[in-house]
Amino acid sequence: MKSKITILLISFFSFSLLANAQITKGSILLGGQVNFSHTSIKYPPIQDDDQITNAGSISLSGGKAINENSVIGLNLKFGYSNAYFRVIPSQRQKYTSYGAGIFYRKYKTLAKDFYFFLEGGLDYNYSNSNTKDSSGRELQKVTQSGVELNLTPGISYKVLKNLHLEVSLPQMFSIGYAESKTSQQQSVSYKSDVVSVYSNLNSGLLNNLAVGFRLIF
C-alpha cells in the first residue's frame, strides 16, 4: 500500500513539474534586464574612499520561440560607469557604451514554473570614456567599437501566466575584438586593435547580478 502511495506521489510530482512548464513554439518574448553596482576601495593610511565607482546597464530584447524552450531574438544595450579616483590631482572617469546584437536562448525546466536558461549572443558595441582632472580639463579620451561573443546564464520564474522574472549573470564569459582610438593631453592620438577575454566570475559576483523580466505571448 505504501509503495502504491509513493508511486502516486512521484507521478503527481513529476506531472506538476512538466505541466505548463514549457515555452511553446511560436511564443513571442519581450523584456529586459537592469543591473547596478557600487564599489569603494580604501588604501592606507588614508581612511577616506580612494576609489569610488558606480556602474549600471540596461538591455531590451525581443525574440520568438523557434522550438519548444528555444528562443532567438534581438538585443539593445546601454551601459555607463562613473569613477572617482583620489589621487594627486584627483580624477573622474566617465564611461558610456551602446550595443545591438542577436541572441539564442535555451530554457531548461528545473521545477514547476522555474527555469534555468543559457543565452549566447553576438553583439556590436561602441563605447566612449574620458578622464578629467578636478578642474574639468580632459586628460584622456578613448573610443572603441567592435564585436563580441558572450555567454549569459540565469534563472527564470513564472510569476503570472504571461510574466517571468529573471536573475542572471550578464556576460559571464565573453570574447571580443575591437578597434580603439586614444587621445591624451599634450600627445598625439593613436589607434590600436584590442582582443579581449572577460569573465564575470570573481569575488564581486553578487554585484554583477542583473534582474529582469520577460513578457510571453
Amino acid symbol at 134: S
Q: Of 48 and 208, which is predicted with more confidence?
A: 208
Query: Residue 20: its pLDDT value, please?
Result: 47
Which percentage of the chain shows pLDDT scores above 70?
82
For residue range 106-120, list pLDDT tens digits in order.
Answer: 999 998 899 999 999
**In the predicted model, what is the mean pLDDT of residues 85-90?**
71
Domain covering 2-216, topology = Porin (2.40.160)
pTM for this model (two decimals): 0.75
**Domains of the chain, residue spans:** 2-216
pLDDT at residue 172 above 90?
no
Query: Residue 202: its pLDDT value, please?
Result: 63
